[in-house]
Each structure stands twice: as structure tokens, then as C-alpha cells.
Structure 1
Amino acid sequence: MKRDVFFISDRTGITAENLGDSLLTQFPNIQFNRTNIPFVTNEKAAQAAVLAIRQSKKNGVEPIVFSTLTDMATQTIIKDSCAHVFDLFGTFVEPLEEALGTESSHKAGRMHGIGDTNTYDKRVHALNFTLGHDDGLSLRNLNDADIVLIGVSRCGKTPTCLYLAMQYSLKAANYPLIQDDLVGSTLPKSLDSCRGKLYGLTIEAEQLSRIRKERRPTGEYSTLSRCQWEIARAEKLFIEEQIPFIDTTTVSIEEMAAIARRDMKLR
């Protein structure tokens, strides 16, 4: 079974997609055709969105619409689209206004905008730091990091670091444990200065082997036996050095970042 889903927003659509997708995952037996329509900032754009929504209606099955529009006039137009419309903004803002005893600004894009220059600058600084300290690229100023992820190659360090920087403005470095580190099962001296900021990532050997074969289908690097050895040595290092770590095998990037923040007590 397939259903058409639209994410309507007066900005990027990130919030509508994130919340909408979280709800849709509760229906694993249904396939969803997703369409994001961002920057619906006036009635003309809303009418164009309604046309796209109505054209997707097939066999009398109404599409699903997740909307985070803040303007009541454009939201009213979307509600007249012959679809199941879920107003993700109005559903929560009106009760929140009552709870706080004041009206909201009803301004678009405040969460993802750059009106707060301090927050924006902090995020850019964190991202630049993370990119400059990816995969052991630079070991300078590691102590300035908020968190340093360590683990074997291809276990999810880089995407998790980028997410931490983009989503939480955290300076996240990462260091790949190479054969020399694993043979001795000792912490590299270059990480001594940031020992309290280390967080380990591990993964099941079968999954790691599959991931590595996509990059290098031949050679010892991607063999199951090699992956098993590396993971066993890495986990031994984590335990002996009392480094907290997480198994990333069935965990999303978002979950890895959230768990790491919680475990490391980062804001």
C-alpha cells in the first residue's frame, strides 16, 4: 500500500519532515511517497501547493499533509486541499499561548534562521572545528573539543560528529584507531590531553564488513576476520581505559548523537 505525503512549510521544511517522518515510522507496512514543498510564504505559493496535493489524489485516496505554516491565511488555503492536513504548528502553539498567558509572534523560521547571530556563529565555529579534526586530520587543539569520538574505521564517527556540530553546535573531533593502536591495546599518546572527552563507537563485525566492502570490495581490510579482530581489540581498549562507548550497529546517527551527549553530559 502506498500513500502520498506532503510536508508544507514557510521555511525549509526540516521541522515538518522530522516530526512527520517520526510519526510515519509507526506504520512500517505502508510505503510513503514523500514531497517537501518549502517556502510557502504567500497565498500564490499556497495555491500552487494545493494544486500539487490535489493532483496526487489517486483512486479517491486522500494524501497526507504535514504543515508547519505560521500564517493563518496560507494555512487556511492548505486545509482546503482535499487532503488529511495535520497542522503541526497550530496544534501546539494555541495551547502553549494559553499556558504562557501571552500570544506567540507567529513569525516564520525562527528556529532555523540566523537572527541570533551568536548561535549562528557558534554553529559555524563548531562545524569548522569538526571538519578540521575529522578522521585524525589534525591532532592540534584536541583539548578544545567538546567530545572526541574514537573507533575503528567506518563505524560512524564522521557523520555523528557532523550531526553534533550542525544540530548542537558542539566541537566534535574524531580519531580512527589504526593497527598500531589496536595491537598494543593502549591509548595513543596524542589523546592523553583529551582523555576525559573520549567517547567510543563500536559495531558488529558482520555489519562493519558489509560497509567496508562497499568501499573496498577486495583485500584484508573488509574481511570478516579482520573486522572481528579490530572490534575485539577496540572494545578491550575502551574497557581497560574506562572509555564509555556505544554499539552503533542498529542505531541511527541522530540516536548516536543524543546518547553521546547524554553520556558525556553535554548541553
Structure 2
Amino acid sequence: MAEIKNCAIFYVSDGTAITAETVGRSLITQFTGINFIEKRLAFINNVETAQAAADLIKNTPSDYQRLVINTVVDIELRKIIHSAGGLKLDPFNRLLRRIEKNLGVKSDPGVGRTHGMLDSTSYNARIEATNFALSHDDGVNLNLQKADLILLGVSRSGKTPTCLYLALHYGLKAANYPITDEDLERMKLPDDVMMHKQKLFGLTIDPFRLSQIRSERRPNSRYAALKKCQMEVSDAEVIYHRNQIPFLNTTLTSIEEISGKIMIALDLNKRLY
């Protein structure tokens, strides 16, 4: 059988398509040497949008295999999507059938529930957590009593994006504090931070990578110099060790993985979707 070089993958959903895309990307990362072209087809919730999606899938260039990951709930709309051909994966529907069989009850499918606003409490909690992360970014606000966790790290070590991810995906109020030159000289964190020791988690990073990141922001500066980056990272890790603060190297780690490991280390339960 000839090796497939090109594949068009379609994430089809009656909602945001985030679930289909998450499943699909988890699968295609297991393959190398394939040129994947990805297309998100969201809010396919009537015959017209379903037919338009099917037409788009049908018109895929002939030198591409077609892979369709479909989480549309409505049976008739699914049939329209499936008529487009290609390899069809319907993980949501298949799993629902198995769960129904195991529980002995029928599901009550609804459009867009996974990432929708039907649960206003969940949605509002995520928004509140996001606002908290933004207002407690980079040590701007040291009123940390309401924080679920506090990320530490030298500048550009990944604190802000991780805090926002934790807020948006888990509804966690994540603050962050940048370890400053003054902290490194004293080899001590401020009392306002240390009083919340049980909430602290440190981030570290390879100095070479840190220098690259900082150079994009301030090229040819002392801030981005490799020697300074090496010193800052080394001293920050000493502070972590001295205070028994758990920490993680973010160099080759995705935000998703960083967040998961932080939650395990601090024993934080996933709150939201």
C-alpha cells in the first residue's frame, strides 16, 4: 500500500469544535511524515451549514486523504456530513452509546453543551478566574489571600500564559510573582509571598532558551545576556530548594502539561470543563 503523504482533517461540530479538535490533534500527533491540513467547521447546526461542510469536505484535493472527526449531535446532520466520504470518526456518539449501555439509561443530547454557557455558574467562575489572573499578573497585586495558587519564576519563564490557561480551563485563581534582581540578591522572597507558601509553585527554564526568548523582546541587552540568564535561573532554583517550593522546568513542556503537573503537585481538583 502506498504511503499517505497528505491528509486533510476536518473537525466538525454543532458547537465550537473544540472537543473534536482536541481529540483530533491528540491522534495526529502520533504520526510523523504526514502533511496534515486542519480545518475547523464549527456551529454546524442546520441542514444548510451541514451541506456546506459536506461540500467543502468533498472538494478536498485528490492528493489528500480525508479524515472527518464529527461530534454533531443531530442524526440527520451527521448523515449529511458522512455523505461527504473520507474516514469518518464519531467519538462522541460512539462513547455515548457505550455509556448508555453501561448505565442503563438513555442520554439527553444537546447542542453545544460542552463549551457553552448552559452552566452559568461554571462560565462565571472561569471569567472571574481570568480577571483575577490578569489583575494579579507579574506581582502587580500582592493581595493573594483569594489565590488558589501562586506561580513564581524569573521574567519570561512562562508564568502568565500558564496562569491564564489554568483560569480559562479550570476556573482556578492563579496569581504570579516575578522573582526580581532584589530577591535574587537577598536570596529571599517577600514576606507577602512567603506567607502563602502552601500555594507556591516555581517555574524554571533552560538558560539558553530563556536568553533566546528575552532576545526577541530586548535584543543585545543585559536582560537577555546568557550569563545573566544562567545566574537568574540558578539562583531562583536555590530559592526553591531552600524553601521547599515545588518547581518544574518549562523548557520542553507544553502549557497543558505544565498546568496538569501543577495541579497534581498542589493537589488542586479540576473545577470546570
Conserved 8 A contact 2:67-2:86: yes
Of 89, 102, 110, the residue aligned with 2:92 is 89
Q: Does 1:16 align with 2:11?
A: no
Structure 1 residues 22-31 or 160-169, which shifts more?
A: 22-31
CA displacement 1:21-63 (0-9 Å, x = unmatched): 000000022121111010000111111001111111323x431
CA displacement 1:107-140 (0-9 Å, x = unmatched): 1111211111211221111111111001112112
Q: CA deviation at 1:174?
A: 0.3
Of 152, 157, 160, the residue aligned with 1:158 is 160
> Matched residues in 1 for 2:212 and 2:32: separation?
24
> Matched residues in 2 for 1:37 and 1:194: separation?
45
Q: Does 1:237 align with 2:229?
A: no
Q: Which residue of 1 aligns with 2:74?
A: 71
- Seq. identity, %: 42
Could you say what secondary structure the match of 2:201 adopts?
A: strand
Q: Which residue of 1 aligns with 2:34?
A: 30
Q: Which residue of 1 aligns with 2:109?
A: 106
Structure 1 residue identity aligned to 2:236: A
Matches within 5 A, 1:174-213: 174-213=176-215
Conserved 8 A contact 2:179-2:189: no
Question: How does the TM-score come out when normalised to structure 1?
Answer: 0.97
> Matched residues in 2 for 1:35 and 1:117: separation?
29
> Matched residues in 2 for 1:144 and 1:9: separation?
37
> Matched residues in 2 for 1:50 and 1:120: separation?
32
Of 32, 44, 52, the residue aligned with 1:48 is 52
Matches within 5 A, 1:109-148: 109-140=112-143, 142-148=144-150
Which stretches of structure 1, 4 residues or longer, exceed 3 Å deviation after superposition? Answer: none
Q: Describe the shift of the 1:111–1:254 C-alpha distance in structure 2 as closer, same or farther (beyond 3 A).
A: same
> Matched residues in 2 for 1:114 and 1:212: separation?
38
Conserved 8 A contact 2:66-2:86: yes
Could you say what secondary structure the match of 2:260 adopts?
A: helix
Structure 1 residue identity aligned to 2:166: L
Conserved 8 A contact 2:215-2:221: no
Could you say what secondary structure the match of 1:7 adopts?
A: strand
Could you say what secondary structure the match of 2:157 adopts?
A: coil
Could you say what secondary structure the match of 1:143 adopts?
A: coil
Could you say what secondary structure the match of 2:38 adopts?
A: strand
Structure 1 residue identity aligned to 2:46: N
For structure 1, the residue ranges without an aligned partner over 5 or more in a row are: none
Structure 1 residues 12-21 or 82-91, which shifts more?
A: 82-91
CA displacement 1:171-205 (0-9 Å, x = unmatched): 00000001000112112222033111000000111
Conserved 8 A contact 1:57-1:63: no
Structure 2 residue identity aligned to 1:53: I
> Matched residues in 1 for 2:191 and 2:52: separation?
60
Please give the root-mean-square deviation of Cα atoms over the aligned residues, in Å: 1.0
Aligned length: 265
Question: How does the TM-score come out when normalised to structure 2?
Answer: 0.95
Could you say what secondary structure the match of 1:89 adopts?
A: helix
> Matched residues in 2 for 1:41 and 1:57: separation?
26
